[in-house]
Structure 1
C-alpha cells in the first residue's frame, strides 16, 4: 500500500471513531500503544532478532488471536502489565487506558495496523502520519492539547537560526510532543554527511527532555521513535517525567530549544481541610537561580541558562511579561544581559499559537563564562508582530513567512549586520539597540516597538472582519493575562 493510502486509512478510521465520541487525543493514545506492539513484534523477527522486553502473554500476536469481549479484557490487562515495565516500554504504557469501548472497532484498528510492515516504512512516512494526528489533536481547543504543540514553522525557524552541529547535545525542559527534537534531527540529517559514530550519537545520545504530563510524554516518545530516534529495547528513557525546575541540571548541554508552558505560576493542587480542591503556588528555592519567584516563565528562563555549557546556545519562546515585568523579571533580565550574550529577540504576532491570548517572543542568547563586564553589547529586534495577521485555519504561519527574519539573523557576522530600519525606511522590521540604551529603560524593559500600527490610522487597510475579531479576542485575553501578572506581582510583594 502506498503512502497516501496508509495516511487516508489512518485518518478515515479516526473520523469513524469520532462518531463514537473518541477524539483525536484518545485515538492517538491507542494508535501509540498498538503501533509500538506491532513494531516490537517486527523487530523480534529476522533480520533484527531483538528483545523488546514484552512478555509473550502480552505481545502483538496475543492481541491478534482474540476478538470480542475476550480481546477487550486482554487488551486492558496488557496495558496494565506493560505500564509496570522499565525504560521506553514502561514510559509508553504509563497510566495506559483503553478508550475504545467497542471491541469490534478495536479489532479493526489492530487489523489495519497489522496489514503494514512499519519497520520497513520510511521514517518520514510514519512521522508524517503521526505528526498530522498530533496537529489535528492540537486544533481541538476543547482538549487543551494545543498548549503542548508549537507551530512547526516557528520551530523550523528557531532551529535554522541555531543551526545545531553533530555530536552536540540538545535539550528541551518542557518538550511537549517533541517538535523541537524532530526539527533538530531533520536539520542535522539534511545539512551534514554523518558518519557511523555521528549517526549513533544522534539516535541515542543527542536529546534530553522533560515532560510531566504522562500522555504528552508518551506521544513525544512515540513520535521520536517513529522518526528513528531511540530504540525499541532502550532501558533508559531520554525524556524524564520529572519537573525540570525542581533541581539544578545534572549535566550541561550544547543547545536548548524550548517553548515552556504558558501561564504565570507553577502550582500544586491538593485537598484542604474542608475536603475542597485548593492550589498552592510553587516557588523553587534554587541556589543557581538569580531570583526566587513563583513565575513559571522566569523560572524556566533561569533554568535554561543553568542548563547550558559556557559555549551553549538557546532559543526560547517567552510571553511578553518576561520582557517587561518588574521585580524578579527585572532581576532576571539584568542578569541575562550580564552573564549571556542576549543578542536577538523575535516579536511574534498573535494568531499563531493554539492557546489564545498569547503574546509571545523568541529570545536567543549564548551562554558565556563569568566575567567582570556585561557580555551583551547590543540586542537585535525583529518586529514580526505589528501589522501582521495570522489565523490558525485560514492563514496559518508558514515557513516562508519567517524567511526574512532568518536572513537577517543568519548573516555571517552578527555584529556587522545592517538594520533594515532607518529614518529613510521607518517600516524596517530589523533594528538594534545597545546595552546602554536597554539598561537605561524603565525596569530594563525589552518590550520595544517602533513601527506604527496601520489599523489605527489607515481604515482602508483594516484586516478582514474575522481576522480583526480574532485579534480583538487575542488582545482581550492577553490583557487579562497581564492583569493576572500584575496581581501576582503585588501578592509576591506583600509576602
Structure 2
C-alpha cells in the first residue's frame, strides 16, 4: 500500500511544472509527510493525556491541523468532500496562510531544540511548488492514506523514504552529497561500536543516514530500559547541516526512523572557530561523510589551524577537535588525502597521526558512491594517543559496481571479520608508524601483496579537477590584480 501511494504521489508531482527533478519530488513529499506525522503525534499525545485525566495543549491551532485543512473527516471516517478545500482555494490557503503561520514558529519557539523551532525552520526554508490546487488535493489524499503510528508502519515508510533519498542522490551531479551507501555506514558503525549513553555527532549530516543507522544499531542492542529509550530519543544523536533541503530531509528521515524531535541544527559547521570548542561541546562518537571539492572563503578558513580551501580538510580538523579524549570516529574522505603533497594535506596528516590513533583505513573501490566520480577511503581513529600502526584493507567486491550492482552488506563481511584483529590477508596489511615518512606523512594505499589497484579516474572527476584548478587560478589572478 505504501509503495503504491508513493508512486501515485510521484505521478501527481510529475504533472507540476515546478517539480522537475527527484530533489523536487522528495522536497514536496517531505513537507506533507511531516505535517501528516505531526498530526498523528499530536493525536497520540492527546490520547495519552486524556487517559491520565489531563488536557493536552496542541502545538498547532485548530485551523492549521491536518484534520482541519488537509483531510477533514465526516462521521463515517471518510473525507468530507464539502469541507475539504481544493483547487485555487486549497493552493491559496497553503501559500498565504499555512506556510506563513508555520514559519512563524521559529520566532515563537522557546529554544532551538524544540519541535516548534523545527517546524518554523522547515517552513521558513520551503515553499509549496505545487501550483495546481487540484494536483495538491490529489497528493494530499494519497498522503492521508499513509499510516505511521506503529513501529512496523514507520519501519516500512522509512525504507521507502530511504529509497527516495537514494534515487535523489543518484540523479544529482554529486550523489555522495545526499546519499552514503547504507552498507558502508553500517560497517563503519560496527567498527566504532557506539553505546547507549554516548553522544553521536555528524557535522555534515545531509539526509542523516549516519544518525538513523546508528539509532537502528543501538535500538537493536538487546533489551533497552525506558530510561535507555529516552536517552536515545533526546540525548544521543546530534547533527548539523548547511543546506536547507538536506536539513529538511534529514529531519524527516530521523522522524520516520522513530526519533520524534531530532537534534539537527541548520547551520554551516565550518563557521565555528576551533578555538571556541569547549569540553562540553565534545562528542563520544563522530560519523560523517563531509562534502569535498568545495572552495571555502578566506575569512572562513581563519577558523582553522591548518588553512585550506578544501571543505573536507576543514571538516576533518573540526571532527578531530570536537571528539572527546578516547572518542572514536569514522570519516569518509577522498583517497587523494592520503598522498597529496600540498602543505595543508601534509600538515593535516601529521596532526591526525600525532593526536589520534589512526588504526584502520578502508580503501573503497570506484563506484562505491553512485554519481560521484571520485575514489574514497574511510578513516577510523581514536583521539588521545598517537598512531602506532595503521591497518589497511582494500575492498574488492570482485565486480564493477554501479547503479545495478551497488555495494551490499555481504561485500563488507570480510573487512569486518579481519578488522577485529587487524589480521593480514591478500587484501589487508599493516604499516608501523615508524615506517611512515616524517617529511610527507604519506599514507598511500600500497598493497604489499601485489594487488594494488591502479585508480583510473573518471572523465567527470578529471573535469571537476580542471574546474577546481581554473577557479584556483582565477583566485590567484584576482589577488595579484588587487596588489597592483
* TM-score (ref. length: structure 1): 0.81
1:345 and 1:361 in contact (8 A); partners too: yes
1:52-88 deviations in whole A, cap 9, x for unaligned?
5223232211233311110000111212321231312
Distance 1:75 1:158, change over 3 A: same
The partner residue of 1:378 within 386, 389, 412 is 389
Confirm or deny: 8 A CA contact 1:63 1:74 kept in the other structure: no
Moved more, 105-114 or 33-42: 33-42
SS of 2:391's partner is: strand
Contact 2:294–2:310 (CA<8 Å) still a contact in 1?
Answer: yes
Q: Contact 1:344 / 1:381 at 8 angstroms: preserved in 2? A: yes
Aligned position for 1:149: 179
Partner residue of 2:254?
224
Q: 1:395 aligns with which of 405, 412, 420?
A: 405
Deviation at 1:327, TM superposition (A): 0.2
Q: Is residue 419 of structure 1 aligned with residue 424 of structure 2?
A: yes
Establish whether residue 309 from structure 1 lines up as the match of residue 334 from structure 2: no
Classify 1:136/1:480 alpha carbon distance in 2 versus 1 (closer, same or farther; 3 Å). Answer: closer
Q: Quick one: which of 125, 134, 137 aligns to 2:156?
A: 125
CA distance change for structure 1 residues 292 and 91 in 2, over 3 Å: closer, same or farther?
same
Question: Equivalent of 1:28, from 26, 29, 33?
Answer: 26
Cα shift at 1:16? 4.2
Q: For 1:367-403, what per-residue CA distance to the aligned partner results, in whole angstroms no more than 9, with x for missing partners? A: 006xxxxx21110011126x85433322111111111
Match among 246, 249, 262 for residue 271 of structure 2? 246
Task: Indicate conservation of the 8 Å contact 1:347/1:361, yes or no.
Answer: yes
Corresponding position: 1:10 with 2:41: no
More deviation in 45-54 or 394-403? 45-54
Task: Give the equivalent residue in structure 1 for 2:446.
Answer: 449
Contact 2:287/2:330, CA 8 A, preserved across alignment: yes
Where does 1:75-86 land on structure 2 (aligned, <5 Å)? Answer: 75-77=94-96, 78-86=98-106
Which range moves more in the overlay, 247-256 or 200-209?
A: 247-256
**SS across alignment from 2:359:** strand
Distance 1:282 1:155, change over 3 A: farther
Q: Which moved more, 1:18-27 or 1:75-84?
A: 18-27
Preserved CA contact (<8 Å) 2:282 2:324? yes
* C-alpha distance in structure 1 between counterparts of 2:265 and 2:452, whole Å: 46
Offset of 1:253 from its aligned partner? 0.3
Q: Please give the alpha-carbon distance, in whole angstroms, between the structure 2 residues aligned to 1:145 and 1:454.
A: 26
Q: What is the alpha-carbon distance in structure 1 between the residues aligned to residue 316 and residue 243 of structure 2?
A: 20
Cα displacement (A) at 1:24: 2.7
Q: Distance in 1 between matches of 2:39 and 2:452?
A: 60
SS in 1 for 2:163: helix
Residue aligning to 2:233: 203
Residues 1:92 and 1:51: Cα distance change in structure 2 (over 3 Å): farther
| Matching residue of 1:103 | 133
Q: CA deviation at 1:322?
A: 1.6
> How far off its partner does 1:454 sit?
9.2
**Aligned with 1:297: secondary structure?**
helix
1:62 to 63, 69, 74: 69
Q: Does 1:368 align with 2:384?
A: yes
- 1:352 is matched with which residue: 358, 365, 368? 368
Change beyond 3 A, Cα 1:368–1:190: same
- Give the secondary-structure state (helix, strand or coil) at the position aligned to 1:443: coil
Residue in structure 2 matched with residue 476 of structure 1 by the alignment: 459
Shift of 1:194: 1.4
Within 2, Cα distance between the matches of 1:182 and 1:224?
Answer: 6
Q: For the Cα contact (< 8 Å) 2:389–2:433, is it kept in 1?
A: yes
Contact 1:150 1:353 in 2 (8 A): yes
> Is there any run of 5+ residues in structure 2 with no aligned partner, and where?
50-55, 72-83, 107-116
CA 336–263 in structure 1, closer or farther in 2 if over 3 Å, else same? same
In 1, Cα distance between equivalents of 2:91 and 2:12: 19
Conservation of the 8 A alpha-carbon contact between 2:335 and 2:377: yes
* Residues 164 and 192 of structure 1, relative CA distance in 2, 3 Å threshold: farther
| Structure 1 CA distance for aligned equivalents of residues 258 and 270 of structure 2 | 29
Structure 1's 487 and 333: CA in aligned 2 closer, same or farther, altered over 3 A? farther
Task: Output the CA distance in 1 between the equivalents of 2:4 and 2:355.
Answer: 51
Change (3 A) 1:146 1:439: closer
SS for the counterpart of 2:436 is helix
Give TM-score scaled by structure 2 length.
0.83
Moved more, 117-126 or 294-303: 117-126
Instruction: Name the structure 1 match of 2:417.
Output: 407
Counterpart CA distance in 2 for 1:453 and 1:484 is 32
Measure the CA separation in 2 of the matches of 1:149 and 1:116: 24
- For residues 433-462 of structure 1, give each alpha carbon's deviation from its aligned partner in whole angstroms, at most 9, with x where no partner exists: 01111135x611111222656999xxxxxx
Residue 135 and residue 215 in structure 1: after superposition, are their counterparts in 2 closer, same or farther (change >3 A)? Answer: same
Question: Quick one: distance in 1 between partners of 2:6 and 2:151?
Answer: 15
Question: Would you say the 8 A contact 1:264–1:296 is kept in 2?
Answer: yes
Distance 1:104 1:480, change over 3 A: closer
Coordinate RMSD, CA, aligned: 2.7
